[in-house]
Amino acid sequence: MLLDRAIQAFGEPRIETYVTDRLATRVSMLLRQSYIMAGFKVPEADDLAILTAKLTSDLFESYRFLTYGEVSLCFELGIKGEYGDFMGLNMRTFSRWLKCYKTSDFRYRQVMERDKRMQAALPPVSEAYNREREDRMLQNAFRHYRAGYPLDQLLPARVYRILQGRKLIADSPADKRSAMDRFARWKPAGMLPMDEETRLHFVKTQAMTALLRRYFDRLVQEGVAKLPL
């Protein structure tokens, strides 16, 4: 049964292929189901939204090579105690489950079997193809922003890092410190427990979002319709 689930999960699209709204919706459903399966009370709406945003961001940033089916399977195994005991469901628990699943012998074997099946069937993906996909993601983010789409739903941290890496954004250390200072006192709404590392992740994400918004707004004011990639 577990092997069948794994084969099905590995056949799904990877996290990196999702648009933010679609993944966030599935993550929110997964979190609700996980709390119920573990026998815990589902968090209030505001707290669940924070957890959903953080987990969605982490999946895009650190686990984009997984499929959603794998994440779901990982959580199911975690709830069953496959990755050790847990006192509650929070980001620390979810992060531990994902790290354990990513490095597990079970996943390693499945990856090897999948790669064997695909090795002869598909040619290697070229660097140019990866660049083309990345360009498309960046242009879509800017196009949606110009159309009024909320920037915080357009992977702002990822977009900012890529544009910075390509030297299209060149914020000074002073600019970055100023942006961090603006959000330094941020705390989650409600009673959701959050460790300092997670809180700082949100602070950094909000700072990068503010800097990206400034860059996008400047391009819009200049009448630029597409990013100068």
First-to-last alpha carbon distance for the chain, in angstroms, is 47
Residue type, 14: R
Q: Using CA atoms, how far apart are residues 201 and 62, in angstroms rounded to an integer?
A: 13
Q: Using CA atoms, how far apart are residues 145 and 159, in angstroms rounded to an integer?
A: 12
Q: What is the pLDDT of residues 153-170, one digit of tens each?
A: 888 989 999 999 999 999
Distance of CA 46 to the CA centre of its chain: 19
Nearest CA to 94 out of 54, 153, 146 is that of 54
Q: What is the pLDDT of residues 56-102, one digit of tens each?
A: 999 998 899 999 999 999 999 999 999 999 888 999 999 999 999 99
Assess whether pLDDT exceeds 80 at residue 193: no
Mean pLDDT of the chain, nearest integer? 88
Confidence of residue 118 (pLDDT cuts 50, 70, 90): low
Q: What is the pLDDT of residues 136-155, one digit of tens each?
A: 999 999 999 999 988 988 88
Helix (H, G, I), strand (E, B) or coil at 14: strand
Confidence of residue 190 (pLDDT cuts 50, 70, 90): low
DSSP state of 54: H
Give the CA distances from residue 86 to residues 27, 47, 53, 90, in Å, rounded to whole numbers and listed in that order: 20, 20, 22, 10
- β-sheet bridge partners, residue 14: 67
Assess whether pLDDT exceeds 70 at residue 133: yes
Assess whether pLDDT exceeds 70 at residue 14: yes
